[in-house]
Structure 1
Amino acid sequence: MRLVSTCVAVLAATAALGTALPAQAAAPALQIVKIYYDSPGADRRSNDSLNAEYVTLLNTTQKAIDLEGWTLRDKTGYSYAFGPDVILGARKRISIRSGQGGDGTSSVYWGRKQYVWNNDQDTAYVRKADGKLVDSCSYRATRSAYVTC
């Protein structure tokens, strides 16, 4: 009870002074939510192993986003550019897999024959077609093979 009355008093004092409480930062329109940087098993560059390495993005908005020209890249500079006709629906996810495959609504494929994401540490960046940074996520390896951002 004492805590509640203290919070009410702080809010009342803040309002009386005409100052605002800090606002929460809005989530980016396209957010990196997971990086699976260490695919299971030995790193032999098989297509299955390459495709088990991926980044998942989430459209946090209520509208579809046309991703044509948007990019995902790592700290080294490996870059994936979304092609035409990649529309991510409202509140939907898409995974960018490092290997080869047929693009669909839930996964697209980088088409590489080598790994992108370092197993020890790296940073993923998502940029709009005009180059503006939308989101980034850095990690250092832990016992897990992935990081949630």
Structure 2
Amino acid sequence: MRIRRALPIAGATAAVAALGLAGAIPAHAAEYTSELKIKGVQYDAPGRDSNKCSGGNTRNEYLTIKNYSKKTKVNLKGYKVRDAVGNTFVFKYNHILEPGDFVRLRGGRGTDSDARNEVYRQNCNFIWNNDKDTIYLYKPNGKPADTHAYTKKANDKDGNGYITYHG
């Protein structure tokens, strides 16, 4: 099991505090009015954890975000993903999700691809804890879009390191 501390992300803590987001969302799963929701998380990358940028497996840890709308396209630019200790990723570029489409937010470094539905955090550190964590998804205006807390014991019955939400 890896133990993780907050990553030094410039301005992330200040931004969270400035938006009043710290502690604003309960630790349990919540339903919000948002087209985008967390579909699932590969919180424990297969294999032995190694956060080396070359040869590590952080790219195999990913969060799947899906557009559950039947008609509305959603631009991910400005959406934020955060964990329980405040590690934050902001979608900085346009990435349009068609209705029913999804994107995988991967750890590690790589080239974002609309065709492969992949966005990379450009950071080789793991973000999700292997034992328990909370995943927060925020809209560009700072309002919550979706939140899920998990524990390996309660939510990963088959022990494969992947948890599905919203089907």
TM-score for both structures, normalised by structure 2: 0.70
The structure richer in helix per residue is 1
Q: Check the 8 A contact 1:27/1:60 in 2, yes or no.
A: no
Amino acid at match of 2:149: S
Deviation at 1:115, TM superposition (A): 0.6
Matched residue, 2:66 = 58
For residue 113 of structure 1, report the CA deviation from its aligned partner: 1.9
What is the correspondence of 1:105-144 to structure 2 with a 5 Å cutoff?
A: 105=114, 106-142=117-153, 143-144=159-160
The Cα of 1:26 is off from its aligned counterpart by 7.7
Structure 2 residue ranges without an equivalent (≥5): 1-30, 154-158
What's the offset of the Cα at 1:88? Answer: 1.2
Counterpart check, 1:43 vs 2:45:
no
**Ranges in structure 1 where 5+ consecutive residues have no aligned partner:** 1-24
Contact conserved, 1:69 with 1:129, CA < 8 A, in 2?
Answer: yes
Superposed displacement of residue 84, structure 1:
2.4
CA RMSD of aligned residues (A): 1.6
Overall identity of the aligned pairs, in %: 31
Kindly provide the CA deviation profile for residues 60-84 of structure 1, in whole angstroms up to 9, marking residues without a partner as x: 1121101111101111111111112
Deviations 1:78-121 (A, max 9, x none): 11111122111111010100111000120100011211000000
Shift of 1:137: 1.3
Alignment partner of 2:90 out of 81, 85, 91: 81
Measured after TM superposition, the shift of residue 38 of structure 1 is 0.5
More strand by share: 1
Alpha-carbon deviations, 1:6-54, whole Å to 9, x = none?
A: xxxxxxxxxxxxxxxxxxx787310101110111111121445101000
The number of aligned residues is 125
Aligned counterpart, 1:102: 111
Local SS of the residue matching 1:31: strand
Amino acid paired to 2:140: A
The CA distance in 2 between the partners of 1:124 and 1:93, in whole Å, is 17
State the structure with more CA Rg.
1
Q: Where does residue 34 of structure 1 map in the other structure?
A: 40
* TM, length-normalised to structure 1: 0.78
Q: Which range moved further: 136-145 or 33-42?
A: 136-145
Cα distance in 2 for partners of 1:116, 1:26 equals 23
**Deviating runs (4+, > 3 A) in structure 1?**
25-28
